[in-house]
Amino acid sequence: VSTQSTWGKCNGNRASLKDLCLVFEGPPINPDSVEVVIFPPSVYLDHTRAHLRKDWHVGLQNCWIGKGGAFTGEVAAEMIADTAADWVILGHSERRHLPELHETDATVATKCAYALTQNLRVILCVGETLDERNAGSTNAVCIRQLSAVALVVKDWTSVVIAYEPVWAIGTGQVATPEQAQEVHAELRKWFAQNVSPEVAEAIRIVYGGSVNGSNCAELAKKNDIDGFLVGGASLKPEFLQIVAAHSQKA
């Protein structure tokens, strides 16, 4: 199953999101071959679910590190599970790298483990900065981030990995299909060697980083690219092209 995911980051309002939902109307998707999840800003979750086509899912862009309580402004996983959402994005590069947030590998791992206990499905983001890529540390960085999660997560059934090179997010730059495939293959190899061959074969690894209607077909042809985590292009009609790109796989 190919996973195509999208989100509005900290953008949009009720009117614009309703219009976007109308743009995304189309023929039903085959749930056996593609799964689409929309991640609106949390305050618009119910509004999005009310207007979004029923064969697409909704999720949130983040959650608190554990059980809810006196944590003003946070959203706990059990609260998300009590809504129409069944997915959450964790470890996004902006949450890892923005100085106001700076989530550590351990924080992301703890969030992931707790969200899974609340029966949420997790898109776990990993990826390197431009300096790390130039230093030849791409695989080491991604594996470090994964290893932190593997310390506390043993069942990967409800986890999708999103490889998102930080240097390609919102910059217009995109990893070549060969660059993306190389990293995806290394991640799958890591799962085979450190978790199990069965998990390595089954887990979905999606690519995120300036994916658009022009480059999605070539990216989708690569063996280890199982879908996309889409940013800016998800706010345009071309997102439907990206959803359909899974058909390019041989």
**Tens of pLDDT along 146-163?**
999 999 999 999 999 999
Find out whether 242 and 213 touch, Cβ atoms under 8 Å.
yes
The answer to pTM > 0.85 is yes
Catalytic residue, chosen from 35, 78, 103, 164, is 164
Q: What is the pLDDT of residues 103-127, one digit of tens each?
A: 999 999 999 999 999 999 999 999 9
Overall average pLDDT of the 241-249 stretch: 81
Q: Which two tokens stand for residue 34?
A: 């593609």
Q: Which two tokens stand for residue 119?
A: 């029966």
Query: Torsion angle, CA of 227/228/234/240, rounded to 10 degrees?
Result: -20
User: Which 3 state secondary structure label does DSSP give 46?
Assistant: helix
E strand or H helix that includes residue 131:
helix 130-134
Report the share of the chain in percent with pLDDT over 90.
Answer: 84
Measured CA to CA, the distance from residue 161 to residue 84 in angstroms comes to 22
Catalytic residue, chosen from 92, 94, 184, 246, is 92
Measured CA to CA, the distance from residue 36 to residue 124 in angstroms comes to 16
User: Which 3 state secondary structure label does DSSP give 189?
Assistant: helix
Q: How far is CA 26 from CA 2, 6, 14, 82, 131, in A?
A: 18, 17, 21, 28, 41
Task: Examine the residue annotation and report whether 92 is marked as an active-site residue of this protein.
Answer: yes
Instruction: Point out which residues pair with 204 in neighbouring strands.
Output: 160
Tell which phi-psi region holds residue 95, choosing left (phi > 0), alpha (psi between -120 and 50) or beta.
alpha
What's the chain's Rg over C-alpha atoms? Answer: 17
Give the end-to-end CA distance of the chain in Å, rounded to a whole number: 14
Task: Examine the residue annotation and report whether 97 is marked as an active-site residue of this protein.
Answer: no
Q: What is the pLDDT of residues 153-211, one digit of tens each?
A: 999 999 999 999 999 887 777 789 999 999 999 999 999 999 999 999 999 999 998 89
CB burial class (10 A; 0-12, 13-18, 19+) of residue 185? middle
Find out whether 105 and 116 touch, Cβ atoms under 8 Å.
no
Report the share of the chain in percent with pLDDT over 70.
Answer: 98
Q: Which residue has the higher pLDDT, 169 or 16?
A: 16
> Whole-number mean pLDDT of the chain?
93
